């Protein structure tokens, strides 16, 4: 019988409880430090709501992917959150970039990201976006629908081919919510394997001399913590690779399994084990290719949330505390669904902590709610917070780096919060706060 695994050593971040960045640690007087910078200190300097982004955590997570998958190509999924600094950090750590709009593409290239290391996604790419991708010489484009084949073929010549992947739907359901289960038929992405749509799209691409089909792509869902869905995706895609060889005499050199790697959102959550993922997926790919008599294609993966999600903390200021007739307590903060729509969209859970002062009061159950005119604007339900919570207090929400600011809106004309990067005890502003003047400047008449 093998010896029991040794549990990982406790870290200062563990003392805080919850999915904090590795650099997080308790400070004096109820303060919490991230990257050596106090969250209350940062809130006083930059105002609230505020997103504090730990540069070291982003870089360390990018490096972890490179170490775990040294022979694969790892592309950071920009849709999780993108700014010029993020593009610089992941490029420096050896990752490519997966973008899905002209805006993400332009920002990345403007930040100096090499276009050849960029992959363009999207289920509805406009002709203008495809022209931009060609002009900037993007490395790969993922074909997601029939119209894109003809549109893209019309933009290229046989002597300057465009590398493409065909996105296929393998019929695998995975993910934390129906809205993000993208590996099953009946939704807007890709070409279904079942029924032959994927095979037909592959044949059409191979008939275009200006398109170089480099491989297959799939994405089965989001916030996935189990490895089994990826293994089943490998099985389905290798079967399709074998069919392509049999039908067309071509072995495709790349296989992209997408991303969707889950992280801890609240204490006790599971997360995708990267080391186990790397071993089991690469082993499964090698075995299935050997069984089919295929060369092993190069593996591509697209983590986004798993790189940036745990690296940020959102900091809010309490504006009011209400006690309802049923005894329910509501703490309203100065942000909400305009900077984090995920609880309203997906029922996503978060944890929250008082920072900036120490309380000896008993614990109380509190709904942390946003400032917007929607009953569903609730950030954290049944949070455990001190019973003496009061206006002016600061609340910190960890695991705030992915799909919050990237999905933020201007609802109620509340500007999007600033982003401050922290590293080695220093903080610097990456993105300033959006103001009413920014909204007004977009108006051109009345």
**Alpha carbon 406 to chain centroid, angstroms:** 9
- Rounded CA gap, 65 and 73, in Å? 10
Non-local (6+) Cβ contacts of 133 within 8 A are 105, 120, 141
Structure token pair of residue 321: 């505390």
Within this chain, do residues 297 and 366 fall inside the same structural domain, yes or no? no
DSSP 392: T
Within this chain, do residues 197 and 239 fall inside the same structural domain, yes or no? yes
Within this chain, do residues 19 and 128 fall inside the same structural domain, yes or no? no
Structural domain includes residue 259? yes
Structural domain includes residue 316? yes
Average pLDDT over residues 347-358: 96
Structural domain includes residue 83? no
Q: Which residue has the tokens 């609240």?
A: 266
Catalytic residues, which ones? 373
Within this chain, do residues 271 and 347 fall inside the same structural domain, yes or no? no
Domain finish residue from 302, 331, 350: 302
Write down the mean pLDDT value for the chain. 93
Average pLDDT over residues 330-348: 96
Within this chain, do residues 295 and 338 fall inside the same structural domain, yes or no? no
Q: Does 85 have pLDDT greater than 80?
A: yes
pLDDT tens per residue, range 240-262: 999 999 999 999 999 999 999 99
Within this chain, do residues 288 and 209 fall inside the same structural domain, yes or no? yes
b/e code 56-79 from CB counts within 10 Å (16+ = b)? bbbbbbbebbeebbeebbbbbbbb
CA angle at 18 for the pair 281 and 364, rounded to the nearest 5°: 145
What are the contacts of 59-64 at 24+ separation with CB within 8 A? 59/89, 59/92, 59/93, 60/22, 61/306, 61/307, 61/308, 61/310, 61/311, 62/89, 62/90, 62/93, 62/94, 62/95, 62/307, 63/93, 63/94, 64/274
CATH code at position 281: 3.20.20.10
- Rounded CA gap, 372 and 412, in Å? 7
Structural domain includes residue 108? no
The pLDDT of residue 18 is 79
Structural domain includes residue 86? no
Within this chain, do residues 278 and 328 fall inside the same structural domain, yes or no? no
Of 260, 263, 192, residue with least CA distance to 230: 260
- The CA-atom distances, in angstroms, between 39 and each of 49, 66, 146, 216, 359 are 11, 30, 49, 44, 17
Of 292, 304, 322, 328, residue with least CA distance to 391: 322
Domain finish residue from 258, 277, 302: 302
Within this chain, do residues 242 and 346 fall inside the same structural domain, yes or no? no
Domain finish residue from 302, 322, 338: 302
Structural domain includes residue 236? yes
Average pLDDT over residues 265-288: 96
- Rounded CA gap, 101 and 94, in Å? 22
Q: Does 58 have pLDDT greater than 60?
A: yes
Structural domain includes residue 98? no
- Rounded CA gap, 32 and 123, in Å? 41
* 3-class DSSP assignment, residue 65: helix
Within this chain, do residues 277 and 339 fall inside the same structural domain, yes or no? no
pLDDT tens per residue, range 165-224: 999 999 886 544 454 444 446 666 889 998 899 999 999 999 999 999 999 999 998 899
CATH code at position 33: 2.40.37.10
Structural domain includes residue 192? yes
Query: What is the pLDDT confidence band of residue 3, given thresholds at 50, 70 and 90?
Result: very low
Looking at the structure of the chain, the number of domains it has is 2
Within this chain, do residues 321 and 424 fall inside the same structural domain, yes or no? yes
Average pLDDT over residues 223-234: 94
Flag the least confident range among 10-24, 182-196, 333-347, 417-431.
182-196
Within this chain, do residues 359 and 401 fall inside the same structural domain, yes or no? yes
Domain membership of residue 280 as a residue range: 121-302
Within this chain, do residues 226 and 289 fall inside the same structural domain, yes or no? yes
Q: Which residue has the tokens 């300057």?
A: 160
């Amino acid at each position: 019988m093998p010896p029991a695994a040794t549990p990982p050593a406790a870290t200062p971040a563990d003392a805080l409880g919850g999915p904090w960045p590795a650099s997080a640690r308790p400070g004096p007087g109820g303060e919490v430090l991230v990257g050596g910078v106090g969250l209350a200190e940062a809130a006083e300097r930059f105002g609230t709501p505020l997103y504090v982004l730990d540069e070291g955590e982003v870089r360390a997570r990018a490096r972890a992917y490179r170490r775990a998958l040294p022979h694969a190509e790892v592309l950071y999924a920009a849709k999780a959150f993108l700014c010029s600094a993020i593009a610089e950090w992941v490029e420096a750590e050896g990752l490519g970039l997966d973008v899905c709009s002209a805006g993400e593409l332009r920002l990345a290239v403007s930040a100096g990201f090499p276009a050849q290391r960029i992959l363009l996604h999207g289920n509805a790419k406009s002709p203008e976006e495809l022209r931009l991708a060609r002009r900037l010489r993007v490395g790969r484009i993922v074909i997601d629908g029939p119209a894109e084949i003809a549109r893209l073929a019309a933009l290229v010549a046989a002597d300057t081919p465009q590398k493409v992947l065909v996105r296929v739907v393998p019929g695998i359901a995975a993910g934390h919510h129906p809205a993000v289960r993208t590996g099953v038929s009946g939704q807007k992405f890709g070409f279904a394997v079942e029924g032959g749509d994927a095979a037909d799209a592959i044949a059409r691409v191979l008939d275009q001399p200006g398109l170089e089909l480099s491989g297959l792509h799939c994405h089965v869902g989001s916030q996935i913590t189990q490895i089994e869905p990826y293994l089943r995706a490998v099985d389905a895609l290798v079967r399709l690779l074998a069919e392509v060889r049999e039908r067309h005499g071509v072995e495709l050199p790349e296989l992209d399994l997408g991303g969707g790697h889950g992280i801890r959102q609240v204490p006790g959550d599971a997360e995708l084990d990267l080391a186990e993922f790397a071993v089991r997926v690469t082993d499964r790919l090698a075995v299935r290719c050997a069984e089919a008599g295929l060369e092993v294609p190069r593996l591509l993966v697209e983590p986004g949330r798993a790189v940036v999600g745990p690296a940020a903390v959102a900091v809010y200021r309490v504006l009011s505390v209400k006690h309802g007739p049923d005894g329910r307590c509501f703490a309203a903060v100065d942000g909400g669904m305009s900077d984090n729509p995920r609880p309203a969209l997906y029922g996503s859970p978060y944890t929250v902590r008082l920072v900036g002062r120490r309380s000896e009061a008993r614990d109380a159950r509190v709904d942390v709610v946003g400032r917007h005119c929607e009953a569903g604007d609730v950030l954290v339900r049944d949070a455990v917070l001190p019973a003496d919570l009061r206006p002016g207090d600061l609340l910190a929400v960890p695991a705030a780096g992915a799909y919050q600011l990237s999905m933020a809106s201007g609802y109620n004309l509340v500007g999007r919060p600033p982003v401050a990067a922290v590293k080695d005890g220093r903080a610097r502003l990456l993105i300033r706060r959006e103001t009413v003047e920014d909204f007004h400047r977009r108006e051109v008449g009345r």
